[in-house]
A and B are shown apart, each in its own frame.
Chain A
């Protein structure tokens, strides 16, 4: 029996997503396919698998990622799905504890990869916001003290186009930063630990 579940996790909540997948596995529902918000489960033995999520350095199709995934396979780790650079991995619970990384350095590097995506998105948003502002000023020089031309509808344009667009972009920018707060915290905590132990 297969079950399809739609659920949305933001990028900063991948640990929550992982926890949810493991709870589903404990109930006998094993993930077999996943994309942005669609998860497909297959019924099976309760708690048969432990699931982990990893953000790879490259897309799964990249030769380096392929070599890495092949290596994981040799250690009993199966890739069940991927979404962009994210891979959904699982290993039989009977083979013992399953973590992707056992050292602090690799854990910190993984957190940094997640934060880097959010930073990339934020930079794009900032560029878009700047472009919007420049476009508005070019069209309406009076915004920065230029001469006012008669007959031009400044206020309706601002309220119907520029301001809503900027508000949406700024809200998205804030959202992108807020969702990775847990990852930033984890990264800091690990880095502090790293100062006194390997």
Chain B
């Protein structure tokens, strides 16, 4: 599957980052909030929608293991990692462009 040049949503970006280790829904919410210094608060409905879409796309999968018997855990796939790498490159480019143009002007 190709990774178009589209930007990932903030929810998807933080979900993928969180799922480098297997994690359940509530854990993703806490992780995103912690990583973003409290700015990103993923609401449960939004998170569920994004997880469902990512599962369908094959960027994440259900994690196997004892812990996931109680609460369903998810983990990133190789496709997901690739998407994350491309997003990171895109974000770097955005920052670079911004700094080139704005540098010292704000």
Interface pick from B22-30, B57-65, B75-83, B98-106: B22-30
CB distance from B26 to the nearest CB of A (A): 5
List the A residue with the shortest CB-CB distance to B29. Answer: A75
A74 in complex: contacting residue of B9, B25, B42, B49, CB < 8 Å: B25
Report the separation of the CA atoms of residues A98 and B41 in the bound assembly, to the nearest whole angstrom.
10
Chain B contact-residue range equals 10 to 19
Contact surface of B with A, Cβ cutoff 8 Å = 9-11, 24-26, 29, 41-49, 71-72
Report the separation of the CA atoms of residues A103 and B41 in the bound assembly, to the nearest whole angstrom.
10
Chain A contact-residue range equals 10 to 19
Please indicate the chain A residues that have their CB under 8 angstroms from the CB of B26 in the complex: 74-76
A36 contacts the other chain (Cβ, under 8 Å)?
A: no
CB distance from A52 to the nearest CB of B (A): 9
Indicate if the CB atoms of A106 and B44 lie closer than 8 Å.
Answer: no
Query: Given that A75-B44, A76-B26, A77-B44 are contacting pairs, would A198 and B9 also be in contact in the complex, using a CB cutoff of 8 Å?
Result: yes
State which residues 103-152 of A face B: CB under 8 Å.
Answer: 103, 105-106
Query: Given that A103-B9, A103-B11, A198-B9 are contacting pairs, would A74 and B46 also be in contact in the complex, using a CB cutoff of 8 Å?
Result: no
